[in-house]
Each structure stands twice: as structure tokens, then as C-alpha cells.
Structure 1
Amino acid sequence: MSSHSPHGQSPLRTVQVLGGGNAGSSAHVRSLAAGLVARGVRVTVCAPAEADQAYGFTDAGAAHVHVPRSSDPGAVAALRAACADADLVHAHGLHASFRAVLALSGRRTPLVVTWHSRARAEGARAHLLRLLERRVAKAA
């Protein structure tokens, strides 16, 4: 790391985790990334490649790591590697938040979650979603 702040510390590093990347949360992450980069924070956005193409996270000064919208072991491992030296991880949406919880398992990295809309479902799926929400909220 060659870039250092005037106080001799390396800049804060945040990882923004995006799930499916609906328009609202993707635009929010781009705006957040641009604002953080302008303040000297190193930002990495973990999202599907299509989201970076559509919303230009790298154009805003963030690094982009392609992480597919999946909870399979490969996607979680890619996310875990991207979060390795993060000072803070901020996940957007329930599914991205759950993947971040899995990726950060055993680490003390602070996790912030933003749910831009609440998942709606009925029956068994609703029960599963409430369990996911509780697990994520407890970890955050």
C-alpha cells in the first residue's frame, strides 16, 4: 500500500456488497462509493459484473470485484477474499447481507446492513426469510 493519509495511517477500506442490484440499491451504492472515495476511503464494490457495467462503480473511483448473486461456496469464498483487509463491510439487501455474514464468519470485521426493501413472501418461504433476517440482524 503506497497511498497513506497525512497522519501516517493507511486509508480506511470499506467493502460494499450488492446482491441482485435493483436500481435503487445500485444507484445508492454508486453514490455512496463516490462520496467515500472523495473523502479518501478505499472502496471495493462486490457485485455481479453487469451491475458495474450498468452503474459505473469503477467510474466513481471504486474497485470492483465480480461476485455472482449466489450463496454457493465459490461466491462466498470470492466475497471472503475481497473482505480480507476491510475495516468495514456494508451489505445492501437481505441476500447480500446473508452472504456477507457467511463470508465474514470467524472475523471481527464490522458489518453494516441496509435493507432497501423488505422481502415479502408467504408460507414456508416467509418463515425462511424471517430466519434469514434474524440471523443477519444478530450478526450485524
Structure 2
Amino acid sequence: MSQLRTVQVLGGGSAGSSAHVGSLAAGLVARGVQVTVCAPAGLDRSYEFSATGARFTPVPRRSDPAAVAALRAACAGADVVHAHGLHAAVRAALALGGRQVPLVVTWHTRTHAEGARRRLVHLLERRAARAASVVLGASSDLVDRARRRGARDARLAPVAVP
């Protein structure tokens, strides 16, 4: 049996989601899972993902073709990809386009927007929710929101920050 491979994708790396990914990476590595964390370069220095035994791949928080290609390369051979946050989810969905790799998305917080940006956020949420195999919401309102955006499977998964 081959070793399970997972990629954890962070967007901007808020303190809560970064600490959550660090905790997940440590727990998964301890259980024999090969973990790659993809996030902006400075986050490995701040949260020491590499110290957990995970591989760290710097991927900028952009959706341009070069950043998506870097993420696509990092996800090659993954058994599951887990994106944390809306922007990370959209970028992961783009990177996985055409691949049959399960995408887990965790929404830690609600994105607030007004005016034209509100419509864009709605579209991004819909894209992320529909691309995901499962959306995990840190609160029941996020689970409801994911369902309204078209998630096939949305579940409550409160996140405890270590």
C-alpha cells in the first residue's frame, strides 16, 4: 500500500487558518501521511510547517497563470487537496481542473463585501462550493452559505486553534 499524499493550500494565511494547517500537518505526518503545505513564502518562517515534517512549497496568493501552474505542480500525485479559505479554494479548483482529485474546502470565516465586490465574492463562493467534494464550515452559518452556493456536501466542522 502506498503512502497517502495530501496537499494543504493556504491563501493569505490568517493566524487562525495557518495555525489550523500547522496542527493538521503535524497530526497527518504523525500518522504516516505525506503532507505538502502550499502558501505564501513568509508563512513557513512564521508557522514552521516544515518543522512538522511537511514539505513546504511557496505559492503566491495570486490567481495568475504562473501561481496556478505552481499550485498545479505541487498537487501532482496528491490523493486529496484541502484548501483553507475562499481564495485558496478557488485557486485549488483552478489548479485541479480536469483532475479527479478530491477537493476538501474549509471556510473558516465569512468574507464581507459590499457593492460590486459583493457580487464577485458570491461568484467565487459558488465556484469554490461547486468544485469541492466537501465543504467544511467552521460555523453553521458558513455551512448554510455553502449549501446555498451549490455545495454537494457541506458539513459543520468547528475549528479549534491550538
Q: Mind listing any 5+ residue stretches in structure 1 that lack a counterpart?
A: 1-8
Query: What residue in structure 2 maps to residue 98 of structure 1?
Result: 90
Structure 1 residues 3-62: Cα deviation after superposition (integer angstroms, max 9, x where no partner):
xxxxxx111000000000000000000000000000000000001110000000000110
**Match status 1:53 vs 2:49:** no
- Provide the rounded CA distance (Å) in 2 between the counterparts of 1:64 and 1:38: 16
- Provide the rounded CA distance (Å) in 2 between the counterparts of 1:97 and 1:118: 14
Q: Letter of the 2:82 partner, please give it.
A: H
Q: Letter of the 2:91 partner, please give it.
A: R
**Match status 1:24 vs 2:16:** yes
**% same residue:** 73
Query: What residue in structure 2 maps to residue 14 of structure 1?
Result: 6
TM normalised by structure 2 equals: 0.81
Q: Letter of the 2:2 partner, please give it.
A: S
Q: Letter of the 2:39 partner, please give it.
A: A
Q: Which runs of 4+ in 1 moved over 2 A?
A: none
More RCO (CA 8 Å, sep 6+): 1
1:58 alignment partner, SS class:
helix
- Provide the rounded CA distance (Å) in 2 between the counterparts of 1:49 and 1:102: 20
Query: What residue in structure 2 maps to residue 39 of structure 1?
Result: 31
RMSD over aligned Cα, in angstroms? Answer: 0.5
Q: Letter of the 2:131 partner, please give it.
A: A
- Provide the rounded CA distance (Å) in 2 between the counterparts of 1:121 and 1:136: 17
Displacement of 1:77 after TM fit? 0.1
- Provide the rounded CA distance (Å) in 1 between the counterparts of 2:24 and 2:84: 12
Query: What residue in structure 1 maps to residue 115 of structure 2?
Result: 123
1:109 alignment partner, SS class:
coil
- Provide the rounded CA distance (Å) in 2 between the counterparts of 1:70 and 1:31: 25
